A and B are shown apart, each in its own frame.
Chain A
Amino acid sequence: MSVELSQAGQVLRATGLSAGYDGRPFVHEIDVEATPGKVVSIVGPNGSGKSTLLKALVGVVPVLAGHVTVGEDEITNLAPERVARLGVGYVPQIDDVFPPLTVKENLEIGGYLLARHEVSPRIEAVLEYFPRLKGMMTRKAGKLSGGERKMLAMGRVLMLSPSVLVLDEPTANLAPLVATQLLEEYIRGFADHGSTVLLVEQRARAALRISDWTCVLGGGRVVLAGLPQDLEQDPIFVESFLGGATHH
């Protein structure tokens, strides 16, 4: 990358986290930690609370118990815009772009917190990373294809030079080859350049391949956590996807 797209990462840590809407916890007592230069992935069946966990970390879902910290800062239940200010970039699973705004404007909003003169060079840098977007600057984001949209979503979050990247199912909707490229080149690349990466993935195998640490969620709790190579051998891991045995 020509310009450093991500700052040196910070540690993102959740301890004893319980979170959910309307005072009802959907995830319970979660402990998870993501460190700079590493990819931590969270996998599990639908409804196991993966998305809710991410949303709780960035302030979209209320935290009912426990703590979330970024580096030295406590961000439990902090407003999302202030979490962003602390360098945490979040890409939701759906509604990940501003459809009526152009590609350029999407990136500009991504750079909302930057000083005026920093925006253009930053956009240049992001475009180096996602060259396909170069020819689409005036196109409305709602008109992009699935893969292009995801790139724009990533590009938007990179505008911030985030030190922590929180990604919710980044490969959803993508063709297998594109998905693989996104995971293995880009996302792994962010970590290799020093950022902290926490991602939720449905394609568990693909996620394991690029992760340094993996947590398996079931019924709103962590049922298993460890090194990817260990998990792959673990019969409980295999079963929790194929045999539904997420008893605890």
Chain B
Amino acid sequence: MSSLGFGLITAAVLAIATVGFTMQFAVTNVLNLAYGSIMINSAFVSYYLNIHGLNAWVSLVGGVGTGAVASWALNRFIFTPFQRRNLAPITLVIVALGVDLCGTFGLQAIVGGGYVSFHQSQGQEYHFLGMFLSGLQLVIIGICAVILGLVHWMLKFTRLGKAMRATSANASLARNSGVKTRWVISATWLISGALCGLAGTVFAMNTGVFEATSAQLYIVLLLAAMFLGGPGEPYGAMLGALTIGVATEVSAAYLSPQYKEVVAFLVLLGMLTFRPYGIFGSEKTI
């Protein structure tokens, strides 16, 4: 039962990360494998603000900003120019891997290989329903839930959110309706980048001690959650993240904890082999 608690915190962070990731895929049709490197860079920016005196939650904003700007720049200066050249999708994935290497190891070159952690208190331990969660974790879950709610509100009720969904569904028709798709795509990368930065920072906070390569394998959880819910589907991403987050932690309780990511791997491979359009999708959506 305590694993359910761990599952919740994992799922909360994963949900934020996956929603951002899937939005980028929806609007640009690229698997941004550099996402993890932006996450960890955002975490480090936040960390440096923190150790220079800012409260951890305030420095969180720095992380969010870093994620937003870095992601926007990635699309503006790398993905968009490459896409104009009409290359195979696989080429963009390789480019993304190249960026991921630069981002992660560039960071490591600057900050070194040592582990660091935020100056923040874990807070009290809370017990309820058999779950053990620290105050810090409860705050993280709270932030994530609120942000997810905001994302939902934005997508469903704001002009920008509808424009984003329209652009993902049919960019050409959106343009014919007067939507400035270039701006919408930029805005999407800014917002999803902010989610990326947020996810990276709270991921680091929750992990406790982290270093430059800590998020390198996070991409697997992200992909598992995204493909489970269906690529490009924000609501699917939330559901997928919840499932993967809880499943990995619960399985850790029954199997050896070193293997808990195995569940995510197997889900991902299974989805790619049998249903790459997600549980709710259908062949036409790919």
Q: Do A and B come from one complex?
A: yes
Report A's interface with B, CB cutoff 8 A: 58, 60, 79-81, 83-85, 89-90, 92, 95-101, 105, 108-110, 112-113, 156, 160
Q: Could you say which of B54-62, B121-129, B173-181 contacts chain A?
A: B173-181
Q: Using CB atoms, name the residue of chain B closest to A59.
A: B175
Contact status A112-B173, CB under 8 Å: no
Q: Are B178 and A108 in contact (CB under 8 A)?
A: no
Tell which of A60, A83, A100, A101 touches B172, judged by Cβ atoms closer than 8 Å. Answer: A60
Contact of B177 among A60, A79, A95, A112 (CB under 8 A): A112
Assess whether A112 is in contact with B176, with CB atoms less than 8 Å apart: no
B4 at interface (Cβ–Cβ under 8 A)?
Answer: no
Q: Is B84 an interface residue (CB 8 A)?
A: no
How far, in angstroms, from A90 to B176 measured CA to CA in the complex? 6
B contact residues vs A (CB 8 Å cutoff): 159, 162-163, 165-166, 169-170, 172-181
Please tell me which one of the listed residues B159, B174, B177 contacts residue A160 in the complex, with CB atoms under 8 A apart.
Answer: B177
Chain A minimum-CB-distance residue to B174: A109
Chain A nearest Cβ from B249, distance in angstroms: 32
Apart from A81-B179, A98-B173, A112-B163, what are 7 other A-B pairs with CB-CB below 8 Å?
A85-B178, A90-B176, A101-B165, A109-B162, A110-B177, A112-B178, A113-B178
Report A-chain residues with C-beta under 8 Å of the C-beta of B177: 81, 84, 109-110, 112-113, 156, 160
The distance in angstroms between the C-alpha atoms of A83 and B169, with both chains bound, is 21
- B159 engages A112 (CB within 8 Å): yes
Bound Cα distance from A151 to B178, whole angstroms: 19
A90, A108, A112, A160 — which one has the most chain B CB atoms within 10 A of its CB? Answer: A112
Who on chain B is nearest to A153 by CB? B173
B179: chain A residues at CB < 8 Å are 81, 109, 112
User: Do B165 and A100 have beta carbons less than 8 Å apart?
Assistant: yes
Find the residue from B173, B180, B181 having the highest chain A CB count within 10 A.
B173
Q: Collect the chain A residues with CB atoms within 8 Å of residue B159's CB.
A: 112
The complex places the Cα of A83 from the Cα of B178 at a distance, in Å, of 8
Other-chain residue from A85, A89, A101 in contact with B162 (beta carbon distance below 8 A): A101
Interchain residue pairs with CB less than 8 A apart (17): A81-B175, A81-B178, A81-B179, A81-B181, A84-B175, A84-B177, A92-B176, A96-B173, A98-B166, A98-B174, A105-B162, A108-B162, A109-B166, A112-B163, A112-B179, A113-B177, A156-B177
Q: A96-B173, A98-B173 are in contact. Are A84 and B178 (CB under 8 A)?
A: yes
- Residue pair A80, B162 in contact (C-beta under 8 Å): no
B179 CB, nearest partner CB in chain A, Å: 5
A81 contacts B172, CB within 8 Å?
A: no
Q: Is the CB of A100 within 8 A of B178?
A: no
Contact of A80 among B166, B169, B170, B172 (CB under 8 A): B172
In the complex, chain A residues whose CB is within 8 Å of the CB of B163: 109, 112
Distance (whole angstroms) from the CB of A54 to the closest CB of chain B: 11
**Which residues from A are CB-within-8-Å of B176?**
58, 60, 80-81, 83-84, 89-90, 92
